[in-house]
Amino acid sequence: MRTLAKMDWDDLQSLAPLEKAECFNLGSQPFHVLMAQQFTRPLLEELGMMATRIRQIAKSKTGMDFLRSLLSHRTAMLYFSQPSTRTFLSFHSACQILGMKTVEVRDISTSSEMKGETQEDSIRTFSSFADIIIMRSAVGGLAEKMAWVLSNTERPIPIISAGSGKDQHPTQALLDIYTLQHSFETRGGIDHKKVVFVGDLARGRTVRSLAFLLTRYQGVKQYFIAPPPLQIKDDILDLLRKARIEFEVGSDFEKVIPAADAIYMTRIQDEWDENKGDSGKIDISKFGFTAEHLKLLQPHAVIMHPLPRRQEIAIAVDRDPRAVYWRQVRNGMWIRVALLAAIFECFDAIREFHAA
């Protein structure tokens, strides 16, 4: 089994995504969390079941006291140099549930990066004070590069990517899968469902991660609905072809709504515009979910969104029980608790407490 330790950076970059993903795990469990390809279906199912056990344990004071004792000797560094609300608070809350102390940098203007320190040196510094680094950066590939750097030092602590450039957002995809697991637990699970992605698919890292994770399930058909400039990129479509996954690419949103088991709405990612205002020139008027669209949606279907939203889902839709995007937020905290518990090998203790 390949490991990052003693591996050259160029050798790591030469690996195919699935080969690279193996280097970030320790056996069947994650160590670094950088890409969706690290998660097998058994691991997805195990994380989902563990998140649910933890939720049940947390309902009592005795249970919360137990959870807070698990990692009370650990410290997490939250390095968010890119804006975040849900992901930051979700990870911060997850750390608190497990008793972890947290330190954070959310504004690089208060750090030595303003003195010219590189992000690489900043992260190397953070590893002196923490047992894990959870990081979000606008720089694509930075989390992966630092995972490699730290793995080749005397203090190889884990790194979790909370979003890295336009690459991937693996823990958002985990919470999306967990939400789908819950939504379809009485309807045969995720297998053979139809998932429709809508909006800015070219630059949405959540879509890139989830599209891959859905390949871990049998017979899931994926639809990509977007204006041409924002359509899904060929690298994701090539990945789906290699996995023999059925998909459709189009721009007629209303046509696919009746077939959908899940609709995954996304906002326009105009922070990635090469020139300010470029996204505003794209007509997105036909790519929003309105209250009228609820009449076309199957009774069992769900509407998802990684948030934040703008106008792509009407506020009136929030009251419909098929709108599960606020549930996604809550699910995100619990699946991240489960992920941290996996990294720090707490599963056996949690199973024993839950069974008692």
> What are the residue numbers of the active site?
86-87, 115, 136, 169
What is the DSSP-derived secondary structure letter of residue 171? Answer: H
Give me 90's structure tokens. Answer: 């979700």
Per the document, the length of the chain is 356
Q: What is the dihedral of CA 231, 234, 240, 246, to 10 degrees?
A: 50
**Residue 194 in 3-state DSSP?**
strand
Task: Judge whether 326 and 80 are in contact, CB under 8 Å.
Answer: no
Q: What angle do CA 299, 303, 304 make, to 5 degrees?
A: 155
- DSSP strand E in the chain: where? 25-26, 29-30, 75-80, 101-105, 132-137, 159-164, 194-198, 221-225, 247-250, 262-265, 302-304
Q: What per-residue string of b and e applies to 97-109 under the rule 16 or more CB within 10 Å gives b?
A: bbbbebeebeebe
Beta carbons of 124 and 149 less than 8 angstroms apart:
yes
Kindly list the distances between the CA atom of residue 255 and the CA atoms of 107, 139, 196, 258, 348, in Å, as whole numbers in the listed order: 44, 37, 11, 7, 47
Element (H, E) at 88: helix 86-97
**How far apart, in Å, do the first and last CA atoms of the chain sit?**
36
* Among candidate residues 255, 200, 207, 257, the one with its CA nearest the CA of residue 228: 200
Residue 50 · residue 356 · CB < 8 Å: no
Fill in the amino acid letter for 93.
S
Lookup: tokens for 109: 């203007």
| Residue 219 C-alpha from the chain's centroid | 22
